[in-house]
Structure formats: structure tokens, C-alpha cells
Amino acid sequence: MKKLFAMFFIVFVCSLLGSFGETKNERGKIVEVSSFVFGVPAAHAGEKKEKEGVYDRVMRTGKVRCGYVVIDPTFIKDPNTGAFSGIVYELMEEIGSILDLDIEWTEEVSFGTAIAGLRAGRYDAICSSLYARPNVMKDLELTEPYYFVPINVYVRKGDRDRFQTYDDLNKPDVKISYMDGTIPALIKRTDFPSAGSLALPDFNYSDILLGVSTGKADVTFVEPSIALAYMDKNPDTLELLPALSPVRFFPNVFGVLKGEHDLNTMLSWAIRYLQYNGQIEAILQKYERYPGSFVRVSKAYVMPE
């Protein structure tokens, strides 16, 4: 009954103001009256509380929560102590230091699950060496690259002479080893659509190399640091196909949610700062076991002569 009376009262006041408030001043009076009747402060009438963005939360808490993929040499986890090391680990810790932010290594993920965890809000950034590839561009804001990697073609030991051209690989009887959502899958789909497939679960890159070395597949595409580490542990199993390598170059980046421009800009300029002062180069040299595995980002300036 009280609400019904209040509604009649508002209609009566509006009729006095004429046409339910034709001017801005009159509409303001209506808001004030309705706010008084229903107990809502006029200053907050119609106001909707906005959800806190990731950047604002990082600034409030002083902490960046990271999802990370364990893959040597970018992120290494000691099996005995659990201690972290690697390119990405050291780079993010340096970023935290210069920005006066704590880096929390919140959750170990896989490349196949990383974006889902970011969307769910379990962490603020994917702090792993993401390739800036089309299937992540739709979902993520990508930072400035901190280095590039070539993607080479690897075949079973002794098969180098069998494959000399793209057409030699693009045949139904040639199986390409890959995991869905990864670079080998992308290259297979775009460059070698007629080739056969050995599609593996989302485990790690050593599995797709194992698929080739054991004869289940004929070829795959990975960066040198991964392939050479596998070949050191498993000699005389694989070899580089130089006639077709590299088949791609990819920048390594971090990823944040679409729309988180402020967070992305902050991380990107921190990467640039560390590149310009030589800290990224020092980190890359520390973990580049195989010379030429990492391609450096060119500097954005030229020294005067």
C-alpha cells in the first residue's frame, strides 16, 4: 500500500512539473523526489557499481598472479626442490622488481588450458613464452616480444633425403606429429593440408618429437632449443631438415585478457626497459645452450655515428 501511494505521489508531482520533466532541471527534480520516496540517495540514483578490472586489482594488491607452463628453457621446475628458473621466470621477476610488484606463481597450466584459467580469473597473466599466433590473438592482449624463435622442420634420422620440397611433405602418406592448438598443428593445417596426421593429447613437445623418432609420424615442427635438447637425450633419432627450415619465425610474448590495455601496456614497456638496459640479453645468454636458438628483438633506435 505504501509503495502504491508513493507511485501516485510521484505522478502527481510530475504532472505539476509538466510533461514528466521536459527540461534537464525538471528531470533532476523527479529523480530527487523518487529518491526521497524510495530512500535512494539522489547522487547514486541509477548508478551501477563497476567490476574491478585486472589492472586496478594488481595496483590495489601490489601483486601479479601468473599462470605458467613448465617447459625448458623458458620455465624450469626443479623436480627435487620445486625451485623455479628459466627465461620467463627470471624476466617476470625482473619486471616485478622494476615495477615494485610481487610476482605470484599461482598456477601451473598447459598451453591448452591457459586461456580458460585466465578467463576464469584464477590468474592475471599467462606468464609463459606464448607464440604470437592467430589462435590466441582473438582471446588475448599480447605484450611486446622479448625474443623470437625460428620453427624448424625435424624428421627421423636418415630421412633427410626423402623430403626436399614442400610437396614432398604435403602427401597423405606423410604423417605430421602435432598437438591441437599448437604451432605444429597450425603449420600442418595451413602449409600441408594434404598430409596425414598424428594428433596427440596436450602433454608436452617431447611427445610430438617422440612420435617422429619412434616411426609413428614422419615429421614435426618445433623450435631449436626444444628439438636439440631432445636429440641430446636421444641421440641418432632425429635430424634437422635444412632444405625447409625455418618454416616460421614467432615472437615470444605474454598474454592478458582482451580489454586489459593498461596491464598490457605496463608489461610491454617493462619488457622494453629491460631490453634497452641489457637485462633481457643477459637472461637469454644464460639459457641459450644452443647458439642461434633465440633471435633477438632489434633495438628501436640507432646510435649516431
**Residue 31 grid cell:** 529523480
Amino acid at 297: V
Distance separating alpha carbons of residues 59 and 53, to the nearest angstrom: 10
Verify that 185 and 271 share a domain, yes or no. no
200 and 223 part of one domain: yes
Q: Residue 222 and residue 155: Cα distance in Å, rounded?
A: 11
Question: Do 166 and 244 belong together in one domain?
Answer: yes
Would residue 96 count as lying in a domain? yes
pLDDT at 187 (0 to 100) = 95
Model pLDDT, residue 93: 99
H or E segment at 168?
Answer: helix 166-169
Give the mean pLDDT per block of 10 residues along the chain (305 residues).
46 45 45 44 55 94 98 94 98 99 97 92 96 89 97 96 94 94 90 94 83 96 95 96 95 97 98 97 97 93 86
Please give the grid coordinates belonging to residue 120. 576464469
Which of 228, 248, 268 is the C-terminal boundary of a domain?
Answer: 248
Residue 196 lies in a domain: yes
**230 shares a domain with 110:** no
**What pLDDT shows up at residue 203?**
64
Please tell me the distance from the alpha carbon of residue 196 to that of residue 177, in angstroms, as a whole number. 9
200: left (phi over 0), alpha (psi -120 to 50) or beta: beta
Residues 223, 255, single domain; the answer is no
Q: What is the model's pLDDT at position 29?
A: 45
Do residues 96 and 164 share a domain?
no
Residue 207, classed as helix, strand or coil, is helix
CA distance 95 to 254: 12
Q: Within a domain: residue 1? A: no
The reply to whether 300 falls in a domain is: no
DSSP at 226: H
Provide the pLDDT for residue 300.
Answer: 85
| Closest to 100 in 3D by CA, of 66, 63, 54, 56 | 63
Structural domain contains residue 191: yes
196 and 230 in a single domain? The answer is yes
Residues 11 and 133 in one domain: no
DSSP assignments along 248-274, one per residue:
EEEEEEEEEETT-HHHHHHHHHHHHHH
Same domain, 166 and 143: no
Residue 297 lies in a domain: no
| Of the residues 218, 248, 278, the one at which a domain ends | 248
CATH classification of the domain holding 202: 3.40.190.10
Residue 140 sits in the same domain as residue 90: yes
What confidence score (pLDDT) does residue 217 get? 96
Domain boundary among 248, 278, 298: 248
Q: Does a structural domain hold residue 26?
A: yes
What pLDDT is stored for residue 299 in this prediction? 85
What pLDDT sits at residue 47?
54
Predicted pLDDT at 9: 45
At residue 15, the 3 state secondary structure works out as helix
CB 263 within 8 Å of CB 270: no
**Which residue segment(s) compose the domain that 15 sits in?**
7-44
Same domain, 127 and 211: no
Q: Provide the number of structural domains found in the chain.
A: 3
Is residue 240 one of the residues assigned to a domain?
yes
The answer, as to whether pTM is greater than 0.85, is no
Do 258 and 136 fall within a single domain?
yes
